[in-house]
Every structure is written in C-alpha cells, then in structure tokens.
Copies of this chain bind each other. A is one copy, B any other.
C-alpha cells in the first residue's frame, strides 16, 4: 500500500537508530526530513552520509530536538534508550509537537508491565490523545518474535493452556555494544555482579504481559532469571577473544505465572557461540501448535519491524498503543 509520502524525523542515531534510518531511507513512500542526535561527533553531518548511503539526503543531524521537531512531519522514529522513565520527556516533547511515534524503547512495548510504567503510560496516552497522535513501542524483541508472532499463532487455537517460546540469537556477527551488553568476555563473577543491571536483555517481562493481556489471562506474577553462557572452548569474534570458562552471553528465562502454574515461558539464549539463530514456539492448546522460524536478523529485523509499523501508526486512532492494537504489520 505504498501510496502517500510519509515524512519522518529520525530521533537517535545509535546503532539501532542508524539501522532504522537506513530502512526508512530505502522506502520510496518514506522520506527523512529531520534527524536528531546529541553526539557532537554526529551533529552537522548529513544523515544519509552518516548512515552509509551513497547519497546525501540533504538533512543535517542536529542536536536541537526542539527546533527539529518543529518541522512538518508525520512520524518520529525514536531510538534512544530501553528505559521508559528515561525516554518519557523525549516522547512527551515529540507528542506536543504533534508527531506520531514509533519507538524502539523496549519498556514502551508494554509500559504497564514496567515498574512505575502504568503512570507514565497514562500520561503518554493522555498527551497523545490531546495532540491527536499515536505512540507505539516495538522492535524484534520485545515487539515481535516473543509476543506478536506467538499471539498470531494462537489465532488458530480454540483454547490455549500454555505458551513456550525459545529464541536463540547468534551474537557473533553483531555490533560490539551488543556483544558487550550480553557480557561477552567477562568472568562469571564479573557477569554476576552486572547481571540484571548493565547486562540484561530488556523485554521478557513486557512480552509476557502483552501475551497475557491479549489472551485475557490474569497473571499472579512475572518472574525473570538471568545466567551466563560460559565458553567450553575458545570463541573469537571481531571484537572479543573469549577463553574457555569466560562468558559468551546470556541465558534468560521469563515466566508468566497464573494460579501457581507457569503458563507463559520465554527462553532467550543470546551469545557469541549460539550457533544458528532460531525462534521456536510451542502452544499447548486445541489444537496444539509448533512453529520454527529461521532467518530473523536482530538488527535488520528490528529496523524492519519499526519501519513496517509506520503506516499502521499513522493510520491508527490517537493514543498509546501496543502491537496488539494495530492491524498486522507486514512489509511494504
């Protein structure tokens, strides 16, 4: 449905933001009209050249968000932080400038499940409605592989008793900050000190809450665990040499517990010695369903999901929405 041209402001040009900007620039029906980043090394550069296009886009990266947000635009692609509390002022400023938002902020994908998030969600929803625009948090995970896709698969079930999702992410070819974020090269002791703080994939709680809400399940609680994956033999990436006994990544579990039972189980293994990436879902229900998806690429696919959401968010009624509130997101 590539029809009307949609004007886009890119807010945040870290690795994810740059990837989103590349995906946006590749679409004929999307046009980048502004770009914001606070990094002095990026400010003043043409955004097209900065993200590695062969052509300039005629749009300079600015550190003046207020000024950039004054431009006429349909949507802001917001890619700055995982933390809802951190991004709230940024999102509020964008909403006041009357722009729709697609954000890769993990905690925004299901804000009510984040501690303190319900109040922030209420404020953002009110602000979005006041200014007649829509705000969505999305990405590949949370936002798609461990919540939206399993939910879509339940569409063929008359009844669902239990959902398990297993996601293996090969981090060996990914960007350095991601390899660092999962603890690559640390000792197990250093990992345990940082685990749950600087080392953690954010999103399992949000995915579980989104699944439970869509299925009408009231959960007693959501639990998360995090453990290191430890090298049994030497592992080498572009950025790290990991000796046996050191950490190659994270193994996280998330559990949605209802009436004392683990009714939702998410398992994420993200490490530099993971082997092939795979996304697997088991639905215990009527009928029971099993799915195996291969080929998903963390960085390319996060940018894809965010970009593919644009036309849905622009067309959706004002307010704070989740992936279960908008029509299915497809390429194009």
Taking beta carbons and an 8 Å cutoff, which residues of A are in contact with B? 1-3, 23, 26, 29, 140, 144-145, 148-149, 151-160, 213-217, 283, 285-297, 300-301, 303-305, 307-308, 323-332
Min Cβ gap A181→B in Å is: 21
| Nearest-neighbor residue (CB-CB) of A283 within chain B | B295
B158 and A307 within 8 A (CB): yes
| Nearest-neighbor residue (CB-CB) of A287 within chain B | B297
A330 and B154 within 8 A (CB): yes
Closest 3 CB pairs of A and B: A215-B332, A2-B216, A154-B331
Chain B contacts for A215, CB-based, 8 A:
330-332
| Nearest-neighbor residue (CB-CB) of A323 within chain B | B328
User: Roughly how many angstroms separate A176 CA and B275 CA in the complex, as a whole number?
Assistant: 46
* Copies of this protein, total: 2
Chain B contacts for A304, CB-based, 8 A:
155-158, 286
Partner of A329, one of B152, B286, B305: B152
| Nearest-neighbor residue (CB-CB) of A29 within chain B | B216
Q: List 22 A-B contacts (CB under 8 A).
A: A144-B155, A148-B155, A149-B152, A151-B328, A151-B330, A152-B330, A155-B308, A156-B301, A157-B331, A159-B331, A214-B332, A283-B295, A285-B331, A286-B300, A286-B304, A287-B301, A289-B294, A289-B296, A290-B295, A291-B291, A324-B330, A327-B328
| Nearest-neighbor residue (CB-CB) of A22 within chain B | B158
User: Roughly how many angstroms separate A154 CA and B300 CA in the complex, as a whole number?
Assistant: 12
Chain B contacts for A214, CB-based, 8 A:
1, 328, 330, 332
